[in-house]
Structure 1
Amino acid sequence: MKRLPFLLTALIGLCLFGCSKTKTDEKMISTISKEVFGKLPDGQEADLYTLTNANGMTVNITNYGGIITKLTAPDKNGQWADVVLGFDSLPPYLKEHPFFGALVGRYGNRIAKGKFKLGGKDYTLAINNGPNALHGGLKGFDKQLWKATEVKKDSIVGLELEYVSKDMEEGYPGTLSVKVTYTLDNDNALTINYSATTDKETVVNLTNHSYFNLTGLKRDILDHEVTIESDSIVPVDTTLIPTGKLRAVEGTPFDFRKPTKVSAGINKTEDEQIKAGGGYDHCWVIKRSEPGLMKFATVKDPESGRVMEVFTTEPAVQFYTGNFLDGKLQGKGATYVKRFGLCLETEHYPDSPNHPQFPTTVLKPGETYQTTTKYQFSAK
């Protein structure tokens, strides 16, 4: 009987040790959770998924528009903060906003006058950006409710989204079956895989329209240092439609081949292209040193030390610096003023259907559209 207190103490200690170990182990496991985000006007419910890796990085994605609503990244002191523009609830996303975090399609970027010819037929799209069509139309992929499936494999968690775009939806030919998968790994990388098939010849150019701000939404992005592996851009006219030619970046405000602050050239309106875009709103042609997934851009906030490296299989990227943000929208405790976020929209060139010399965006029956983009975060 005298040994009973000792045995009880030992058992309790063992239990506490085991429980403590379990909690520690749980922290090392990547997780995905789901909650209701809100209701759409037609009564359907949109869900919000939270992806968390073993380091504590979190990414929130809703199946409404495939929108990334939150993404955290560490600073040089190990402090995590949200680095994407957006809102804390669904209602603001249902109103007009500049594609914050959205999955964009069927055709990301602009198509001149909303018209193109394919297979000898003329197609007409909705005009929703000056005289042109932009980002898939009046109700593009960013405003659709996608079928969502949770993904978990080893140390990776993700979300698979599926949507079937009917023939002639928003004016585009062919029934397009789309699958987009977001995955978060323990290297603090968010990877987006896009795939699509069609039953009729069509055009496809999918991308994500997240606005990044590595300060943690504290200030604008003018002090961000940007590097882009590119020798040329796709110059545009005054309506931001490509002229059809390429322009070398050397000796211009568009040269980001070495780390360069956004502020260095963004206001040099003596350059006709800066004037046309109101800053940077152009397509950079990626200089490829290898096929497949390649790092083409690095963004750094010197004060916080946050670094974002971007990889893609695509031939180009639209670098946009929030020139049209005007302070009317607020979210997450921040006011979204001009140049409060920057976008790196991996893609094919704008208006490619009207420029046969550009890399083609045509997808035919029997073919599979397949692209990948990865955003990896660290601190220095």
Structure 2
Amino acid sequence: MSQRADVSVTWEEWQMTPKGEVIRLFHLINARGSQLTVSDWGATLTSFKLAMPDGRLRQLVLGCDTLSDYQNQSAFLGATVGRYANRIRNAQFSIDGQVYQLEANEGTTCLHGGPHGFNNQLWKAKILENTPDPTVEFSIFSADGDQGFPGNANVSVEFSLTADDQIRIHYKATVDKPCPFNLTNHSYFNLDGVAGDVGSHVVQINADHYLPVDQANLPADAPQPVAGTPFDFRVAKPLNQDWRKVATDQRYRGFDHSFILNQDPDAPAIQVVSGDEKISMSVYTSSPAVQLYTGQYLEGTRGHNELVYQNRDGFCLETQFLPDQPNSDIAEACIVRPGEVFDHSTCFAFHY
């Protein structure tokens, strides 16, 4: 592989599934010494350690130590989720008059592609050669009827780590029957570098509208202005400033809402500053919305270094389409038809 000497991609056999499948970890390292680790199980981002100015590595994402922990948790830690991320009401939608019944895995709802979605499958992995940055491509074939979704689909996702500490994720998918697609990464971030409450992280989201949801986290209304609501992140504020105002049960206080992004290709859609103010993260994306989830259902999830995560130990910024969009009046925007390509990318850029 032709590659600069100061960057690398290495891989190791990690663990084995009950079926005897060998699961691997791929380690992407840049010249600064930052380390991104991804697995072919679920095309999962398992670890990102940022090289700090003092030479130490700071772990910025939540993850598990073992494959069985990934398989036995319901938080989707770091996974690539699809075919359709987020929720589809009654696990059902129709295209061109044809009704499709999906596999439900959250009551009557289909969540993140169903019980055996992309997060619960082994992807093919390929280290890309002659790339300016260390890059791994994962690909998967999803047969017609997989979890109820129509069409034979070919899906790929590339992970790159740039020299200046950007994680770049590029999704592509094609299908031979019309099908909604909504691929995203479900990483939980904690920029303070330890498991602990993320409420002091300061967040700014370039969005004038958010999507109200009901008790099942399904759309309850059309998108509404954020002005004058707890969902106004146009001016940066701590996550915990208003999260008690959006939950009736304070044990589970926090956000789990979609924001319709103001598309500006030259500016970050989201900016976050760590609680200790030592790290900032800027998010750029071609996706039309982002789901802000503050991890209020993490309690009991087994994590890195034998930790057991607690509620709000991490937050997600899932760039995507809207929940239940296939059943909305803007359904066509998320449907991929034969001859078309689902082609979206997201960049998480880190600074100190």
Q: Does 1:138 align with 2:115?
A: yes
Q: For residues 262 and 174 of structure 1, what CA distance do their matches in structure 2 show?
A: 40
Q: Does 1:72 align with 2:44?
A: no
Residue matched to 1:89: 66
Residue matched to 1:7: none
Q: For residues 177 and 92 of structure 2, what CA distance do their matches in structure 1 show?
A: 18
Query: Structure 1 pair 260/28, CA: closer, same or farther in 2 (3 Å)?
Result: farther
Q: For residues 57 and 148 of structure 1, what CA distance do their matches in structure 2 show?
A: 21
Residue matched to 1:287: 262
Aligned pairs for 1:173-252 (under 5 A) are 173-252=150-229
Q: For residues 353 and 304 of structure 1, what CA distance do their matches in structure 2 show?
A: 40
The counterpart of 2:11, out of the listed 18, 34, 41, is: 34
Aligned pairs for 1:356-367 (under 5 A) are 356-357=329-330, 360-367=333-340
Q: Indicate the RMSD between aligned Cα atoms, in angstroms.
A: 2.0
Which runs of 5 or more residues in structure 2 are unaligned? none
Please report how far the alpha carbon of residue 94 of structure 1 lies from its aligned counterpart in structure 2 after TM superposition.
Answer: 2.0
Residue matched to 2:282: 309
Please report how far the alpha carbon of residue 288 of structure 1 lies from its aligned counterpart in structure 2 after TM superposition.
Answer: 1.7
Please report how far the alpha carbon of residue 83 of structure 1 lies from its aligned counterpart in structure 2 after TM superposition.
Answer: 0.9
Which structure is larger by alpha-carbon Rg, 1 or 2? 1
The amino acid across from 1:246 in the alignment is P
SS in structure 1 of the partner of residue 70 of structure 2? helix
Higher mean C-alpha deviation, range 70-79 or range 51-60 = 70-79
Q: Does the 8 A contact of 2:198 with 2:275 survive in 1?
A: no
Residue matched to 1:327: 300
Higher mean C-alpha deviation, range 306-315 or range 329-338 = 329-338
Q: Does the 8 A contact of 1:74 with 1:378 survive in 2?
A: no
Please report how far the alpha carbon of residue 339 of structure 1 lies from its aligned counterpart in structure 2 after TM superposition.
Answer: 0.4
The amino acid across from 1:336 in the alignment is Y
Instruction: Indicate the percent of aligned positions where both proteins have the same amino acid.
Output: 35
Deviations 1:287-314 (A, max 9, x none): 1234xx7520011114151111111001
Residue matched to 2:240: 263
The counterpart of 1:340, out of the listed 289, 301, 313, is: 313
Please report how far the alpha carbon of residue 332 of structure 1 lies from its aligned counterpart in structure 2 after TM superposition.
Answer: 2.4
Query: Structure 1 pair 113/374, CA: closer, same or farther in 2 (3 Å)?
Result: same
Please report how far the alpha carbon of residue 258 of structure 1 lies from its aligned counterpart in structure 2 after TM superposition.
Answer: 1.4
Q: For residues 119 and 202 of structure 1, what CA distance do their matches in structure 2 show?
A: 11
Q: For residues 358 and 174 of structure 1, what CA distance do their matches in structure 2 show?
A: 17
Corresponding pairs, count: 349
The amino acid across from 1:283 in the alignment is S
Q: Does the 8 A contact of 2:64 with 2:302 survive in 1?
A: no
Q: For residues 78 and 340 of structure 1, what CA distance do their matches in structure 2 show?
A: 25
Please report how far the alpha carbon of residue 335 of structure 1 lies from its aligned counterpart in structure 2 after TM superposition.
Answer: 2.7
Q: For residues 278 and 362 of structure 1, what CA distance do their matches in structure 2 show?
A: 33
The amino acid across from 2:263 in the alignment is R
SS in structure 2 of the partner of residue 127 of structure 1? coil
Q: Does the 8 A contact of 2:191 with 2:275 survive in 1?
A: no
Q: Does the 8 A contact of 1:226 with 1:261 survive in 2?
A: yes
Q: Does the 8 A contact of 2:91 with 2:101 survive in 1?
A: yes
Q: Does the 8 A contact of 2:204 with 2:233 survive in 1?
A: yes
Higher mean C-alpha deviation, range 281-290 or range 30-39 = 281-290
Q: Structure 2 length as normaliser, TM-score? A: 0.94
Query: Structure 1 pair 186/92, CA: closer, same or farther in 2 (3 Å)?
Result: same
Q: For residues 376 and 28 of structure 1, what CA distance do their matches in structure 2 show?
A: 23
Q: Does 1:45 align with 2:18?
A: no
Deviations 1:336-365 (A, max 9, x none): 101000000000111011002356211110
Residue matched to 2:324: 351
